[in-house]
Amino acid sequence: MKNTYYIVQRELYAYFASPIAYIMMAFFLAFSGALFGIFFSRDLTSVEVNTVMRGWATNVGFFLLIFISIITIRLIAEEQKTGTMELLLTSPVRDWQVVVGKFLATVVLLALTLAFTFFYILLMTIFGGRPDWLPLLSGYLGLLLIGGVSAALGILASSLTQSQAVAAVIGILVSIVLWFLGPLFVNQGPTGGAWWSQALDYASLSNHVDSFSRGSPDLKDILYYLSLVVLFLGVSVQVLKMRRGE
Amino acid sequence: MIEARNLVKYYGDRAAVNDLSFEVEKGEIVGLLGPNGAGKTTTMRMLTGYLAADRGQAFVAGFNVAEKPMEVRKRLGYLPETVPLYTEMPVNTYLDFTAKIRGVPGKGRKRRIEEVMEMCRISDVRHKIIGKLSRGYRQRVGLAQAIVHNPQVIILDEPTVGLDPRQIIEIRKVIRDLAGNHSMILSTHILPEVSALCDRAVIVNRGRVLVEDTLENLERRSSAGERLRLEVRGPADEIRQMLSEWPGVASVSEIPPPPGQEGPEIGLFDLGVQPGADVREALAGTIIGRGWGLLELRTVSPTLEEIFVQLVTEDLAQLEEEDALEAGGVAAPGERLTGRKAYDEEMDEPTSLTEPLAETEPLAEDGAELDVASDTDERKIYPVAKVKTERKAAPAFLTENSPGPAEQKKAKSKNRAAQVDEEELDDASNGIK
């Protein structure tokens, strides 16, 4: 457990030692802020505020996916390339501790970024908006979970290759496919009723957002996100082991 | 403390390490020696547990690397070939991190890091970002990282590669300071390093151990036997006559003096001496007694480099024979030392092959380096296997002396002019007709 903590510490250090985290955070905040401005540019009734907030959370979720994919790219690929992975994996640290440490550091960064968006909520209440707090908070939980899935996916993509460019392409493309799996390709197409299209629809990341932003997060949605995280991280650990011929 | 038992590792269907075994006792420094691509790095990675062996076992500090990896890692300090540095961190933060994950308890951690920085002579750069350090400092930070938890076993993969002679001497000092308390393996293809640091050498080639012995034994074992170098002023023919009839002298060969230094009647001789016979004293007495000038008489013992080259060359020659047998033919004499293709492919850095393995070291500060540096200029050792570099043929327009576009145009217009002339001529001749 201690080792994981040390890894988290170091990863956070690395995040804030390089400009990439600052740039991506600024970019994400600018984007979500702009979306917020657009969505709330009209006078809204309190019922409308909640529906608009739901739309905002879903859209922000997608950008979060891209944002996290980009900052996680270097996590393992870089260490493979510079040889520091050899340092970690010949120290008394287990492979999974390395992977989980990197994941948790990303989650901390993610939580920090999301915390900054509370500023918008603050603005809204100052100017008289009265949102329902329960859907709002559970919406944030949803965003955190989506970000977590994206972080795990980014780590997996990063473990597959030494080249950060390749890792970026894999990570971002798979994120996009996972997000649009249901709504774009299957649900509204001619195959809408077939069992496999329903299955694909269910596997889509965006299909599980709604229950969070409604304020009544479904246990099966939480489990869905968590199981994706475990799956991606588990595969990453196996990839690391495979590379060393185990 | 360290034991490799029949280690085997395949990359694809090529065996990088093939049935390799050796042992390192407590407190011993062993040099793992071999040309590039001999399997040194792979062997070390298997000993550290970074790579899993395909067959065979490795033991470190009494633990099986495959079965108890965590116990092994706690007792192991490892400096890989590419120094594993987080370039965005300052030196002391980096060492703090490596100490933490190596399990150095929080209480004495700070003091230990100070100690190690002192030992590796990097205290003056403790607050500097690693990415901004020079190569020599980086290497020493890497070394500090490997010893920060005071491990029983230290494995160093080419610790002095890419450093200048001054830095090499510094690193060697650090390594020598560590000797005694730790068992150590260090790999290198620089032979003076082994003479300077190690108790024992394990010479590997093609993934196997060729020879494993102490340095003295290695030097004794060489088939070259003992040789004498003799420089005498006097009548050359008489001297040669006397030397060849001397009991105990097996062979006499005259060495032509270096150009520009031919003195009158100075003869340089290389004598092969039968084992056990010490002819120096009697020989010197006789030469002086006859009134000749004895300028130099010294024993030449084979150096590690000669032994190394001899072993590797023999190994490759054997490989050639095996290949020839397999192919059912005899290898062409010209290809004698080039090795087979598979061997060539192992050589990962073509440039390193064109440089001498052992270079002279102008800056020798202490005795160990001094005797190494002596007369290395006459035996720069080049690796025996050479990579055949296949160059793509340059496109035709680069190699041929083809005219540039402007000239081409000119030539064309000239042709046209010639054509016009011909037509005119034709016309003219028609007109004549």
Percent of chain B with pLDDT over 70: 70
Tell me: the pLDDT tens digits for B230-263?
A: 888 888 888 888 888 888 787 888 877 766 666 6
Q: Considering CB atoms only, which of B52, B76, B83 is closest to A244?
A: B52
CA-CA distance, B111 to B91, in Å (whole number)?
Answer: 15
Between chains, do B73 and A91 touch, taking CB under 8 Å as contact?
yes
Among the ranges given (A86-95, B265-274, B358-367, B398-407), the one the predictor scored with the smallest mean pLDDT = B358-367
Query: Amino acid identity of B293?
Result: G
Q: Kindly state the average pLDDT of the residues B404-424.
A: 49
Between chains, do B52 and A14 touch, taking CB under 8 Å as contact?
no
Taking the Cβ of residue B87 and every Cβ of chain A, the question of whether any pair is shorter than 8 Å is answered with: yes
Of B371 and B77, more confident: B77
Tell me: the pLDDT tens digits for B41-67?
A: 999 999 999 999 999 999 999 899 999
Query: Amino acid identity of B421?
Result: D
Tell me: the pLDDT tens digits for B293-319?
A: 888 888 776 666 777 777 778 888 887
Burial grade of B165 (CB within 10 A; 0-12, 13-18, 19 or more): middle
Between chains, do A87 and B80 touch, taking CB under 8 Å as contact?
yes
- pLDDT of the residue at A50: 72
Task: Give contacts of B98 with chain A, Cβ < 8 Å.
Answer: 87, 91
Nearest-Cα distance to chain A for B73, in Å, is 5
Q: Considering CB atoms only, which of B48, B82, B93 is closest to A83?
A: B82
Phi, psi of B252 (to 5 degrees): -130, 130
CA-CA distance, A204 to A183, in Å (whole number)?
Answer: 8
Task: Give contacts of B84 with chain A, Cβ < 8 Å.
Answer: 82-87
Report chain B's mean pLDDT, rounded to a whole number: 76
- pLDDT of the residue at B355: 46
Task: Give contacts of A90 with chain B, Cβ < 8 Å.
Answer: 48-50, 73, 76, 78, 80
Q: Kindly state the average pLDDT of the residues B32-38.
A: 84
**Which residues, given as ranges, of chain A have pLDDT below 70?**
43-47, 182-193, 246
Q: Considering CB atoms only, which of B52, B76, B97 is closest to A10?
A: B97
DSSP classification of residue B125: G
Nearest chain A residue to B147 by CA: give it: A91
The size of the A-B interface in CB pairs under 8 A is 71
Nearest chain B residue to A246 by CA: give it: B52
- The answer to whether residue B408 scores a pLDDT higher than 60 is no
Q: Considering CB atoms only, which of B51, B76, B101 is closest to A93?
A: B101
- Whole-complex ipTM: 0.88
Taking the Cβ of residue B109 and every Cβ of chain A, the question of whether any pair is shorter than 8 Å is answered with: no
Q: With contact defined as beta carbons under 8 Å apart, do A142 and A57 qualify?
A: yes
Taking the Cβ of residue B248 and every Cβ of chain A, the question of whether any pair is shorter than 8 Å is answered with: no
Q: Kindly state the average pLDDT of the residues B337-366.
A: 44
- pLDDT of the residue at A151: 95
Between chains, do B102 and A91 touch, taking CB under 8 Å as contact?
yes
Between chains, do B88 and A82 touch, taking CB under 8 Å as contact?
no
Between chains, do A83 and B76 touch, taking CB under 8 Å as contact?
no
Q: Kindly state the average pLDDT of the residues B102-129.
A: 92
